[in-house]
Amino acid sequence: MLNYKKIKKSLKEVRDALERLELLEPMLDENSSDASVLKNSRQLSEFTVSVHKLIGSIPDPFLPTMVQSAHAVIESKPSKQLHSAVVSSDVSEDKFQALLKATEDRLRQAIQAELAKIMVADAFAPAPAPNGQIYSDAYTTDDAVRQSEQRLRTIIDSTPLGIVITNEECKIEYVNSAYAQLYGYQPSELIGNSFTMIVPPDKREFWLDLHAKYLAGYKDIRGEWEVRHKTGKPIYILADAARIVGTDGKPKKVTFVSDISELIKLKDEARQSEMQLMQAEKMSSLGQMVAGVAHEMNTPLGFVRSNMDLLVEMFAEMKLLLERYNSLREEILHGSPVSVAQSMAAIEEATQKFTLYKQVDKITQNSIEGLTRIQELVSNLRNFSRLDEADFKPASLNQLLDSTLNIAGYLLKEITVEKHYGDVPNVMCYAAQLNQVFLNLITNAVQAINHDHGKITLSTAREGENIVVKITDNGVGIAPEHLNKIFEPFFTTKEIGKGTGLGLSIVYKIVEKHHGKIHVESERGKGSTFTITLPIGKVVADAESTALFSES
């Protein structure tokens, strides 16, 4: 039965696949400054070593099919993801670990499944072919067969892999203890019943159909499935199956399952933490901006609203005065000297209280200025977000810098801003994203300044087919040992709550997306300059992307 040529071939295939994984490593430049890439590559090589060990531990006779499934695993999704994660290295540490573990688990499970499959097929096979024995060719008597069978059953019952045999009527004929345990049943509760008791109620038809098709000889059921625990709670399994002929001569399906609920949970968590990361990304720059703008806006809103209240008060005072004048007139025309005197006193009192009118000019003038400021803030916000504009289009970097300065106005109250804008052509870009880049850099510059003669210089210039933007501050500067870390996500020297360490990693990503470059020069105590080089890019003619008439 064992074809050693074939084994060797399969073995080679696995080694090749592994090598391909290993081949990734040199792609991760060892001299790269990016520490996370280095770390990933180190972990990857540890992983390949452990896979080698795993394969080394497989007893020889079982190799071929196992090698095949190992191969399949290496080709499978988690390891593909792992591959791309390693290459792009823009994946979080947690996610990377999870993928690593997922791939390794997959491999182990696949190998176990193959192991069991061979053993079961062998145990339930009618009579062994004369010269096809795997374990030894010394035994030929019934005794030996029974002994071998006994041994296999022991192995089967102690493997952590769940094994179930179902017949043509979809009835469960055999389960090992691992299988029963996985679903929370006693073996006796399962044997003799339809296997549909462990699948989700709404999937019963599907499973009956699949089962029949499988026994009829086609349809693969290898894969991840959701099934039901005795308690009704969903669990996730990795299943594989084999067709055998039972001792009664009828076809049976042997299914091998392992619990991958943990794995699924892990993957979910990884996905979730990735989402949180993205959320945090949005929060760090946006959150700061919202806080700044809200404060900027609420300040004029504060005094305008207060002034309106004051005007209302003033009108109430005025109304009172008018009413009293009216009653004085009445008293003069129809009343007595005493009542006239009383009215006069009342007017006197109201007049004394009537003081706000002297401030009316100031109140209204301040209010109008406040409203103008709110108006400007709103239009700055619009310019900054550019929500109403197409994503990728030509824009003036000088204008973008200006609208960012406007929005960051609250940060710059104490700081001199110098602009050296060159006469530069428009650049093809995602304007809103470049605004974020500038906002993050300006925010960092402001935060680096710890004295009261702060200065930030912005310059733009054309250099060949590129525009170069420089943002210079005279702040604390960056320690040389930090220079190659500052673009890493979560690297921050700021106190908790002040910085998330995402600003520059976002900047890096956006610049990269524009096929641009960013670099930094810095001297402790003197300041830092961030230089961004962006290709001007070709203006895509409108007609190429958009038809003139729409089809009605």
Partner 1 sequence: MPEQVKILFVDDEQKVLESLELVFRDTPIRLATSGDEALKILRAEEISVLVSDQRMPKMSGVELLREAKKISPHTIRILLTGYSDLEQVIDSINTGEVYRYINKPWDNAKLRETVQFAARMYEQQKELRDMSKGIKSSASTSANDTTIDSSIELLFVDKNYEHLRGLKETFSEMRPTHVTADVDEGYHLLETRPIGVVVSDVLLNGFDGADFLAAVKERFPDVVTIMMTSSKDSSVAVRLINEGQIFRYIVKPFPKEAMRSTIDEALRRYVLQKQQPSQNLKRQEQQVATAAVASTSSNSQSLSQLLEEVRQRLAEKKTY
Ligand X SMILES: Nc1ncnc2c1ncn2[C@@H]1O[C@H](COP(=O)(O)OP(=O)(O)OP(=O)(O)O)[C@@H](O)[C@H]1O
- Region near ligand X per CB under 6 A, out of 114-122, 128-136, 355-363, 488-496: 488-496
Least separation, in Å, of the C-beta of 304 and partner 1?
7
With CB atoms as reference, the residue minimizing the distance to Mg ion is 503
User: Which residue has tokens 């304007």?
Assistant: 431
Token readout for 420 is 């050296």
Torsion of CA 164, 169, 170, 172, to 10 degrees: -40
- Region near partner 1 per CB under 8 A, out of 23-31, 340-348, 351-359, 514-522: 351-359
Sole binder of partner 1 in the list 304, 442, 458, 467 (CB under 8 A): 304
527 is a contact residue toward partner 1 (CB under 8 A): no
* Cβ closest to partner 1, residue 261 vs residue 366: 366
Number of residues lying near ligand X (CB under 6 A): 23
- In the list partner 1, Mg ion, ligand X, none, the entry touching 418 (Cβ below 5 to 8 angstroms by class) is none
Nearest in space to 222 (alpha carbons), one of 239, 209, 210, 234? 239
- Region near ligand X per CB under 6 A, out of 1-9, 202-210, 249-257, 496-504: 496-504
DSSP helix, strand, coil percent of the chain (3-state; round to 5): 60, 15, 25
355 is a contact residue toward partner 1 (CB under 8 A): yes
444 is a contact residue toward ligand X (CB under 6 A): yes
- In the list ligand X, Mg ion, partner 1, none, the entry touching 320 (Cβ below 5 to 8 angstroms by class) is none
Sole binder of partner 1 in the list 132, 160, 302, 480 (CB under 8 A): 302
Nearest in space to 326 (alpha carbons), one of 341, 343, 339, 312? 343
* Cβ closest to ligand X, residue 392 vs residue 491: 491
H or E element in which residue 154 lies: helix 142-158
Least separation, in Å, of the C-beta of 474 and partner 1?
17
- Whether the Cβ atoms of residue 260 and residue 224 lie closer than 8 Å to each other: yes
472 is a contact residue toward ligand X (CB under 6 A): no
What mask, x for binding partner 1 by CB under 8 A, covers residues 442 to 481?
Answer: ----------x-----------------------------
Residues sharing a CB contact under 8 Å with residue 166, sequence separation 6 or more, in sequence order: 172, 173, 195, 211, 252, 253, 255
* Size of the chain in residues: 552
DSSP state of 535: E
Token readout for 143 is 């005794």
- Whether the Cβ atoms of residue 166 and residue 140 lie closer than 8 Å to each other: no
Sole binder of ligand X in the list 270, 397, 448, 510 (CB under 6 A): 448
Q: What SS3 state is found at 140?
A: coil
- In the list ligand X, partner 1, Mg ion, none, the entry touching 298 (Cβ below 5 to 8 angstroms by class) is partner 1
Please give the residues from 233 up to 292 whose contact with ligand X meets the rule CB under 6 A: 284
Return the bridge partners of 522, or none. 528
CA atoms within 13 A on the CB side of 52: 12
- Region near ligand X per CB under 6 A, out of 73-81, 96-104, 150-158, 491-499: 491-499
Please give the residues from 502 up to 531 whose contact with ligand X meets the rule CB under 6 A: 502-505, 528
What are the φ/ψ torsions at residue 414 (nearest 5 degrees)? -100, 5
Classify strands 527-535 and 466-473 as parallel, antiparallel or unpaired. Answer: antiparallel
Residues that bind ligand X (CB under 6 A): 284, 440, 444-445, 448, 473, 475-478, 486, 491-494, 499-505, 528
